[in-house]
């Protein structure tokens, strides 16, 4: 019988992009399971690398469950908090430490005492926080914001990323010393298409999960449906497979899921936040090249300026009009970014709101510079 990993509350977040189940039938995934269970009883920090939807949190939970640790499993998404809040979230704060801090609060490290802290998307952690995380890992102590008293912690760290951290280190977006501190026990999770032996067992698992809710009898797959699932690329990995099976159960007839019920030929490629694991041109690069060629064929006027303005405007919006984050995202200095924002009329100069925003960003930049120095 296949080994299956699921969340204890797997149906609590039906729209989550995370993988809600893993099976270990393919030789590749069986090797991953064996590696995970060898690593789990140790105290080593674990780094899990894989695309979105491949099951990184499920592996992290399995590490915790097999570790023998008495404390809880606490999962934190590093990309879910702003730069201003993430330090208080991780390390806690005292009353009055900052505006709105009305009471004392534990951070996630303290909440995971004697257990496991899972930091997902650690590649999105700001550089200033990377320094502080490294210190916590080395000293095994946290200091709440607004306090000078260190608190001893006994926490096993499991980190995960869909970013190539080696490339991030080379680009200056991730600290090399933190990377080497995390890269002790590494688990690489390949995309679903690279473990084809798991596809049909996973599909059967999702059939069983949804069949009872839909009040259906026994369901089987036609041979064409099985062949279609194995041949499909599954860009969205396990989560995409779950969605496909859910829909197929709704439209199938006579207790059989046929290839037409899967509608695989009609699916739009998933836009994943994953970054490529090689420096070769990836799918995003191909789409960008195609878009440029189409614009070349249209003989547009002032194309270079249009592209520059669109890039700067969209990046500024993506970073919630934060200059420091936008400059980091584009890989340019803040002075160059400000010149571009003024050039395209995106910077409200002279206004009180603009002045206050710039003061805050300047303070953030000074803090970053002080930490990195």
**For position 320, what pLDDT does the model report?**
83
Is residue 30 within 8 Å of 4, Cβ to Cβ?
no
What burial letters (b/e) apply to 50-79, b meaning 16+ CB within 10 Å?
Answer: bbbbbbbbbbbbbbbeebebebebbbbebe
Is residue 46 within 8 Å of 63, Cβ to Cβ?
yes
23-50 tens-digit pLDDT: 999 999 999 999 999 999 999 999 999 9
Q: Which residue has the tokens 């688990």?
A: 187
* DSSP per-residue codes, 149-165: -EEE---EEEEEESS-H
Residues constituting the chain:
373
What CA–CA distance (Å, rounded) separates 203 from 221?
9
What CA–CA distance (Å, rounded) separates 42 from 52?
26
Vertex 25, ends 24 and 26: CA angle to 5°?
105
**Which residue numbers in the chain have pLDDT < 50?**
1, 12-16, 270-283, 350-373
Going 40 to 44 to 50 to 55, the CA torsion angle's sign is positive
73-90 tens-digit pLDDT: 999 998 888 777 888 889
Q: Is 84 exposed, middle or buried (0-12, 13-18, 19+ CB in 10 A)?
A: exposed
Vertex 272, ends 270 and 275: CA angle to 5°?
140
**For position 287, what pLDDT does the model report?**
67
Vertex 229, ends 226 and 233: CA angle to 5°?
160
240: CB partners within 8 A, 6+ apart: 53, 234, 267, 270
Structure tokens at 197: 């032996």
**For position 234, what pLDDT does the model report?**
95
**For position 369, what pLDDT does the model report?**
43
Helix (H, G, I), strand (E, B) or coil at 189: strand
**For position 79, what pLDDT does the model report?**
82
Give the CA-trace dihedral at 219, 17, 13, 239, to 10 degrees: 10
Q: Which residue has the tokens 């059967």?
A: 204
Q: Which domains does the chain have, with CATH numbers?
A: 40-190 (3.40.50.300), 196-266 (1.10.8.60), 283-372 (1.10.10.60)
- What does each C-alpha distance from 233 to 192, 199, 269, 364 come to in angstroms? 8, 11, 10, 43
**For position 71, what pLDDT does the model report?**
94
260: CB partners within 8 A, 6+ apart: none
207-226 tens-digit pLDDT: 998 998 888 999 999 999 99
**For position 267, what pLDDT does the model report?**
60
Please list the residues that pair with 75 across neighbouring strands. 118
Helix (H, G, I), strand (E, B) or coil at 244: helix
């Amino acid at each position: 019988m296949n080994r299956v990993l699921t969340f204890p509350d797997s149906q609590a977040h039906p729209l989550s992009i995370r993988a809600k189940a893993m099976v270990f039938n393919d030789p590749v995934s069986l090797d991953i399971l064996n590696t995970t269970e060898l690593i789990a009883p140790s105290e080593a920090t674990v780094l899990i690398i894989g695309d979105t939807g491949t099951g990184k949190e499920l592996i992290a939970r399995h590490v915790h469950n097999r570790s023998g640790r008495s404390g809880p499993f606490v999962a934190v998404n590093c990309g879910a908090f702003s730069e201003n809040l993430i330090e208080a979230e991780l390390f806690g704060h005292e009353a009055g430490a900052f505006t709105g801090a009305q009471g004392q609060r534990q951070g996630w490290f303290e909440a995971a005492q004697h257990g496991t802290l899972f930091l997902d998307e650690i590649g999105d952690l700001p550089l200033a926080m990377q320094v502080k995380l490294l210190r916590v890992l080395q000293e095994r102590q946290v200091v709440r914001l607004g306090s000078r008293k260190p608190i001893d912690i006994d926490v096993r760290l499991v980190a995960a990323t869909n970013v190539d951290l080696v490339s991030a280190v080379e680009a200056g977006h991730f600290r090399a010393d933190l990377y080497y501190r995390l890269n002790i026990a590494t688990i690489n999770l390949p995309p679903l298409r690279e473990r084809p032996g798991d596809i049909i067992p996973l599909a059967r698992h999702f059939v069983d999960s949804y069949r009872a809710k839909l009040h259906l009898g026994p369901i089987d797959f036609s041979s064409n449906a099985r062949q279609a699932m194995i041949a499909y690329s599954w860009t969205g990995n396990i989560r995409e497979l779950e969605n496909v099976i859910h829909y197929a159960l709704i439209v199938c007839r006579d207790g059989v899921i046929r290839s037409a019920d899967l509608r695989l030929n009609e699916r739009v490629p998933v836009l994943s936040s994953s970054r490529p694991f090689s420096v070769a041109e990836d799918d995003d690069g191909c789409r960008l090249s195609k878009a440029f060629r189409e614009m070349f064929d249209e003989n547009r006027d002032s194309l270079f300026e249009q592209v520059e303005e669109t890039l700067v405007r969209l990046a500024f919006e993506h970073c919630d009009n934060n200059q420091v984050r936008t400059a980091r995202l584009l890989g340019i200095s803040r002075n160059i970014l400000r010149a571009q924002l003024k050039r395209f009329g995106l910077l409200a100069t002279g206004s009180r709101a603009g002045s206050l925003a710039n003061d805050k960003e300047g303070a953030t930049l000074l803090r970053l510079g002080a930490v990195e120095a």
